[in-house]
Amino acid sequence: MGGIGGVRVFAGGEVAAAELREMSERLRHRGPDASGTWTGDGVGLTHNRLAIIDEEHSRQPMLSADGRWVVVLDGEIVNHDSLRTLLSYPFRSHGDTEVVVAGLSIEGISFVERLRGQFALVAHDRRTDTTHLVRDRLGILPLHYRHVPGGIAFASEVKALLTVGPAPSVDHRSLEAYLAHHYVPAPDTLFEGIKKVRPAHRVSVTAGGHLEEVQYWTPPESDADGTWSASDAVEAVGDGVREAVRGALVADVPVGAYLSGDLGSALTAAQMQRLRGDDPVHTFSVGLGTPADDDQASARRVGELLGTRHHEVHVHPHELEGLWTRLTWHRDAPISDLADVAAFGLARAAREHVGVVLSGDGGEELFGGHGRYRFARFAERSLALPAPMRSRVAGSVQRRMGAPFTAAERNRLLGTTAPADRRTSPALGSDAVDRMLRHDLRHDLPDHLLERSDRMSKAASLEVRPALLDHRLVELAFRLPTSLKVRAGSTQWVLREVARPLLPDEVIDPRRSGSRPDLAGWMRDGLRRDARERLTGSGSWVGQTLDRTVVRDLVDRHERGDRTARDVDVRLWTLLALETWHECFFGAPPTLPQPRQASRSMATPGPAS
């Protein structure tokens, strides 16, 4: 686990060692335990290590025994032990990185399709002079790239790419997507020219600078209704969850679990505690502002029932001012809502006890847990309504589906509609719910939820593993028809049935959902800088870029405490977060947070040097 980066230079150019050092410095929070660099003909790689497996020997960048391949890996390959037994290779370490190197040496780049786990890697083939950028199937770990004069740079996080080449500008064509979703779908970002490697894709860069993108995995189509009996589905998902959690426990450091009040995290913790036996698991939950938070009470109850060592964390509004810019710098993007603050508070506390935590992220996107999935059929049908009726319900539908600004509001703010080439293509599926689940798997999960989890945990030098996103369990989930997920008014039906032998009904079928934090109160008590000046003043980037009249009206309504229009505070937060992001990356250079401990430099590495 850690941070990876590098530069590919064409036409006989040389990689500047200073550039690699600066990239490494920007990634130290991802891997404070060790660092290393490697340079070859026109290629340079850097790696910052968060030691999780084989702490002593698996140093990177790592060369294959025959010298053909050079690899930097961020992540964990949970099936590395089983793959090792199938490879005839002179292993010198017990880590997963050397298994990747060995497999590449024997099978070539297609070997990445045999990897299980969460990973982003760069593999340079010295024989063909091709550099491969590869991201895991679900997009759990990030990987970005950009064209620079004479070459291409790549790194785990955007901030490392800002040290190479000219200063970037804002990608104004991505603003519409941000205002619609709180995030920008891959491959784009808010930075002009900086791209994300898409989940389940590899991007190959040849010596002449040509880029070839290949998708190596897609979730399967749903099986027809009647293919699965309810009991068979429950048994298969139960087995899949148990094996996914078992695989996620691979580590040479202590492993804990998050309890966030949702079913996925409770089930993950329950399976983990069952696998650990009498050894109590460290579990963690977070409350925003008040110890009376419903989610905290639910998490505490689960911890008591499972017999874990439960830790409660509280983050208060007065901390927001000091965290806003810091977390924006770590996120590489506007912080989407208070969940970013909560995720950092959790990671910061968990790092005092463990090196890895398991989360339940992805359970709702796999098994139809969000309330909006019950709304999917109506949302699709509304698109077929006559134009006058469709325009009347469009705003309500979009807000219900989670849009901070409706399409009409975005048009007024930007003065234009979404660029045609930036509109996401509709997902194909068997029904409206299935299509929404597939869309979320492609975009909302990796570009929003997993990005938040990765950046906020790495800000505390902690590894988070979303155990339920083992791709074999994902494949099973998408084979199951919607009738086994959203059923009789219940979301996540099959997952709830899997949980019944492990958890009480009060956890599986809560009578009410957790309370939502008072966003207006957080902004009032946590942000000392005036929102009006920041969004409408002469120095405001948002005020200069978006329609000032619309922005001013939003600020007016917030200051009056106007709640007649829903989600005024969400929209104001969205704009304040955007302004803070611009200040952070295009204003005065931010102060780099100090790593947990100083990294130690490494000599030019071999397989186990």
| Residues 6 or more apart in contact with residue 128 via CB below 8 angstroms | none
Task: Return the H-helix or E-strand segment holding 148.
Answer: strand 144-148
Same domain for 211 and 234, yes or no, is no
170 and 268 assigned to the same domain? no
Please, which residues have CB within 8 angstroms of residue 590's CB and are 6 or more apart in sequence?
325, 329, 584
User: In this structure, are residues 485 and 493 in contact, taking their beta carbons and an 8 Å threshold?
Assistant: yes
Give, as one character, the DSSP assignment of residue 315: E
Give the residue from 152, 181, 215 where a domain finishes.
Answer: 215
Please give the annotated binding residues for L-glutamine, written as ranges. 96
Is 422 in contact with 172 (CB distance < 8 Å)? Answer: no
Please indicate, yes or no, whether residues 166 and 312 belong to a single structural domain of this protein. Answer: no
My answer on whether 554 and 485 are in the same domain is no
279/211 same-domain check:
no
Both 69 and 165 in one domain: the answer is yes
pLDDT for position 467: 97
Confidence of residue 591 (pLDDT cuts 50, 70, 90): very low
pLDDT confidence band for 605 (50 / 70 / 90): very low
Binding residues for ATP: 286, 359-360
The whole-angstrom separation of Cα 341 and Cα 334 is 12
Distance, CA of 29 to CA of 260 (rounded, Å): 24
- 26 and 100 together in one domain: yes
Are 469 and 361 contacting, i.e. CB atoms less than 8 angstroms apart?
A: yes
Q: Which parts are annotated binding residues?
A: 96, 286, 359-360
pLDDT digits (tens, 9 = 90+) for 495-537: 999 999 999 988 898 765 556 777 877 887 777 678 889 999 9
The domain of 553 spans 529-586
Question: pTM of the full predicted structure?
Answer: 0.92
Q: Could you tell me where the beta strands, DSSP code E, fall in 246-400?
A: 255-258, 282-288, 309-315, 356-359
Residues 331 and 465 in one domain: yes
**71 and 129 both lie in a single domain:** yes
Q: How many CB atoms are located within 10 Å of the residue 495 CB?
A: 27
Residue 393 lies in a domain: no
The reply to whether 282 and 361 lie within a common domain is yes
- Indicate whether 404 belongs to any domain: no
For residue 110, tell me if it sits in a domain: yes
> Rounded to an integer, what distance in angstroms lies between the CA atom of residue 309 and that of residue 293?
20
Q: Could you tell me which residues come within 8 angstroms of residue 115 by beta carbon, excluding any fewer than 6 positions away?
A: 77, 79, 83, 100, 136
Give the CATH number, domain containing residue 123: 3.60.20.10
Same domain, 94 and 240: no
Q: What is the pLDDT of residue 143?
A: 98
Size (the chain), residues: 609
Grade residue 595 by pLDDT with cuts at 50, 70 and 90: very low
Assess if residue 377 is contained within a domain.
no
In a domain, 116, yes or no: yes
Q: What is the pLDDT of residues 418-459, one digit of tens each?
A: 888 888 888 899 999 999 999 999 999 999 999 999 999 999
**pLDDT single digits (tens) 221-275:** 999 999 999 999 999 999 999 999 999 998 888 999 999 888 999 999 999 999 9
| 461 φ/ψ angles, rounded to the nearest 5 degrees | 55, 45
498 and 570 co-located in one domain: no
- Does some domain include residue 363? yes
